[in-house]
């Protein structure tokens, strides 16, 4: 009965999206816009609404948008498929495949358990151990749900169970809430640190490239690393103050970690190879440009080594539904953004918004725009949708306000991900941690709101000074 009602709801959403799109299709168009540009904008808006409301899987929604472009002669089939040839799209899918090596070999869990065994004697220490593990894994696992939900969450859950007390369930709940909240916020921050830490980040890079702004893997990592590390250091303390655990010291976590490490046995050859590839990839992503190697080429090199060494198997990659699902929606959104830019849609829309900000000073305009961009994430359940809808337009507005292109693109990219910690649905991993059931929704949102203020202060204050040292502005 529930499934039937759900299907009816999904069908209704699809019909409403189609109906509204048809009405918009025949509205009068500004002479400043080409007709195919207006039609592409309608298809893009319908795609994003579909992604947000989710009547069908995101991959299906994006394939339907390609079909709409072709059937309406808005774009040719070759133009629609052009997004799948973009190197950024292949970078993210290669990173997905490489991340399977961390999970399959057990290296990701081994790293997490090792760190936990060393500094997990207090509840605060446990939280920092999980944060450090998340940080180490983030450059090569581009899925917040895979990294947070697949590696960090099971470890965090086993630790939370060690605090269980049937006579005093509030004790375990309080400690569990603290640990899960820290893990969720940690994934938010680590997803901000590297282009390859989250699937939506390369999309932001692509949008910047469409505006003539080149951002390399090193540029992103260098700009994010200092405010990111400060955020990772401060955030557990903030959550500790806002939602203090009942049990503050325990030897159970290090004991669990040691038992798990013992059960895993000695480090395997495949784990050693995986670690070596990890080091090689980071080194080449930082220095690859000196040898004429793009980040995508470097990722392909790392993937090839893992395949040849049989650390992962090609069949595993073919079976990675998450990677191919991401490939479909990512390639489609890249294509749509490219042609929206070519048709001048984003510049036109930005000029319209700029009109309303003309009465404010450049500094005030920048502050207002940043806050709007950040807190509007309350209405998004997808960082990808947030970036797709708003980043190109806000990038134009930032540049018009006098912000240098590179720093404007980086700030918006960072804000896109940092804002996903506001709610229990803002990032793909947060529902997993929230779903453990240790914390009420209002407490989760309260922590998200307070930490958001802390993030903004850190990234504006510490980040601003760091970017000045880097001569980004």
350 band by pLDDT with thresholds 50, 70 and 90: low
Helix axes 269-287, 295-308, angle to 10 degrees: 170
Taking residues 395-408, what's their average pLDDT?
86
354 band by pLDDT with thresholds 50, 70 and 90: low
Residues forming a β-bridge with 249: 122
Q: Please say whether the beta carbons of 185 and 239 come within 8 A.
A: yes
Residue 2 has pLDDT above 70, yes or no: no
Residue 347 has pLDDT above 80, yes or no: no
- Cα-based torsion angle of the residue sequence 291, 295, 301, 307 in order, rounded to the nearest 10 degrees: 170
Displacement of CA 377 from its chain's centroid (Å): 13
Model-level pTM? 0.80
Report pLDDT digits (tens) over 200-220. 899 899 889 988 899 999 999
pLDDT value of residue 197? 92
Residue 51 has pLDDT above 50, yes or no: yes
Q: Which stretches does DSSP call E strand in 188-340?
A: none
pLDDT value of residue 273? 94
Q: Please say whether the beta carbons of 111 and 136 come within 8 A.
A: yes
**What's the angle, vertex CA 71, arms to CA 68 and CA 77, rounded to 5?**
85
Report pLDDT digits (tens) over 151-204. 888 888 888 877 665 444 444 578 889 999 999 999 999 999 999 998 889 989
pLDDT value of residue 362? 65
Rounded CA-CA distance 34/445 in Å is 43
pLDDT value of residue 428? 78
pLDDT value of residue 228? 97
pLDDT value of residue 355? 61
Q: Which residue has the higher pLDDT, 395 or 3?
A: 395
């Amino acid at each position: 009965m529930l499934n039937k009602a759900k299907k009816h709801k999904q069908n209704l959403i699809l019909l409403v999206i189609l109906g509204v799109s048809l009405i918009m299709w025949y509205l009068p168009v500004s002479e400043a816009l080409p007709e195919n540009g207006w039609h592409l904008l309608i298809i893009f808006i319908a795609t994003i609404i579909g992604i947000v409301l989710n009547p069908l899987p995101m991959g299906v929604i994006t394939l339907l948008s390609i079909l709409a472009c072709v059937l309406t002669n808005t774009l040719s089939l070759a133009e629609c498929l052009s997004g799948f040839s973009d190197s950024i799209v292949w970078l993210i899918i290669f990173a997905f495949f490489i991340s399977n090596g961390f999970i399959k070999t057990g290296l990701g869990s081994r790293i997490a358990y090792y760190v936990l065994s060393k500094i997990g004697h207090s509840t605060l220490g446990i939280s920092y151990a999980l944060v450090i593990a998340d940080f180490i894994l983030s450059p090569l696992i581009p899925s917040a749900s895979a990294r947070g939900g697949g590696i960090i969450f099971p470890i965090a859950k086993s630790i939370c169970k060690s605090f269980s007390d049937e006579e005093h369930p509030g004790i375990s709940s309080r400690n569990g809430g603290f640990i899960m909240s820290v893990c969720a916020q940690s994934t938010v921050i680590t997803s901000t640190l590297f282009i390859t830490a989250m699937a939506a980040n390369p999309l932001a890079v692509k949008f910047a490239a469409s505006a003539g702004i080149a951002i390399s893997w090193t540029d992103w990592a260098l700009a994010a690393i200092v405010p990111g590390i400060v955020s990772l250091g401060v955030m557990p303390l903030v959550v500790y103050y806002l939602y203090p655990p009942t049990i503050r010291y325990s030897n159970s976590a290090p004991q669990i970690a040691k038992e798990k490490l013992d059960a895993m046995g000695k480090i395997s050859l495949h784990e050693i190879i995986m670690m070596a590839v990890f080091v090689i990839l980071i080194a080449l992503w930082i220095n690859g440009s000196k040898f004429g190697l793009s980040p995508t080429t470097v990722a392909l090199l790392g993937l090839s080594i893992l395949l040849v060494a049989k650390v992962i198997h090609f069949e595993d990659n073919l079976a990675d539904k998450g990677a191919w699902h991401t490939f479909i929606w990512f390639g489609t959104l890249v294509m749509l953004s490219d042609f929206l830019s070519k048709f001048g849609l984003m510049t036109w829309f930005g000029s319209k918004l700029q009109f309303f900000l003309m009465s404010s000073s450049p500094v005030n305009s920048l502050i207002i725009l940043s806050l709007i961009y950040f807190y509007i994430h309350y209405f998004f359940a997808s960082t990808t949708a947030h970036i797709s809808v708003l980043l190109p337009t806000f990038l134009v507005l930032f540049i018009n306000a006098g912000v240098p292109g590179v720093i404007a693109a980086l700030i918006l990219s960072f804000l896109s991900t940092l804002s996903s910690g506001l709610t229990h649905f803002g990032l793909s991993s947060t529902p997993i941690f929230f779903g453990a059931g240790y914390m009420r929704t209002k407490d989760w949102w309260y922590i998200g709101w307070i930490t958001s203020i802390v993030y903004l202060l850190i990234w504006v204050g510490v980040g601003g000074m760091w970017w000045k040292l880097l001569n980004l502005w």
